[in-house]
């Protein structure tokens, strides 16, 4: 039965997603392309924004997850975000840390975000972020923080971002 549903959806989804002026103007100069099932793009199935947004979810384009220095300062000042630094503890001792950030080395992020609240607090000295909390990951230069963002997204965290400049950008801007 599930296979039948997938086959049915595979026949309908292209019709729904191709029914967009944006796609037509981007990929077909004339704007005319035959749709599956014999429909032409001039025979609109439904042009409501809700339909397009539903199809958009299947695309690979996602909203920006990058946070600038100024945005991170505001988030920290407002106390509305959990900042997680994914560097190793020795890096924080040697280079410094963003005030208020919780240190969870990258190799422990996946496990740490699945701990219970009490165990998380004992091990990392902060509150376990909820799946609806805004989390900003940071590291030295933005590479490991992007990896941590991907891990958290896979675990179901919705509001995840990263600071691509990392500690290097923070230290440079914080001195000014």
Q: In which residue are the tokens 């896979």 written?
A: 154
Extract the tokens encoding 120: 């998380």
d(CA 148, CA 36): 41
Those residues with Cβ within 8 angstroms of residue 4's Cβ, 6 or more apart along the chain or in another chain: none
Antiparallel, parallel or unpaired: β 134-138 and 159-162? parallel
User: Catalytic residue among 6, 17, 55, 139, which?
Assistant: 139
Q: Is-catalytic flag, 139? A: yes
| 81 DSSP β-pair partners | 134
Q: Which residues of 29-174 form beta strands (DSSP E)?
A: 81-85, 102-103, 134-138, 159-162
For the annotated catalytic residues, the residue numbers are 139
């Amino acid at each position: 039965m599930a296979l039948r549903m997938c086959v049915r959806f595979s026949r309908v989804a292209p019709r729904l997603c191709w029914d967009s002026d944006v796609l037509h103007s981007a990929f077909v100069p004339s704007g005319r392309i035959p749709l599956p099932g014999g429909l032409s793009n001039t025979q609109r199935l439904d042009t409501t924004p809700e339909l397009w947004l539903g199809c958009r979810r299947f695309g690979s384009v996602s909203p920006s997850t990058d946070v600038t220095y100024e945005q991170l300062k505001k988030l920290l000042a407002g106390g509305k975000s959990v900042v997680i630094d994914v560097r190793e503890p020795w890096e924080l001792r040697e280079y410094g840390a963003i005030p208020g950030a919780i240190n969870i080395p990258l190799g422990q992020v996946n496990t740490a975000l699945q701990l219970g609240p009490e165990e998380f607090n004992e091990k990392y000295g902060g509150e376990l972020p909820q799946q609806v909390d805004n989390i900003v990951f940071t590291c030295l230069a933005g590479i490991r923080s992007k990896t941590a963002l991907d891990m958290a997204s896979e675990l179901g965290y919705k509001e995840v971002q990263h600071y691509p400049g990392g500690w290097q950008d923070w230290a440079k801007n914080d001195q000014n």
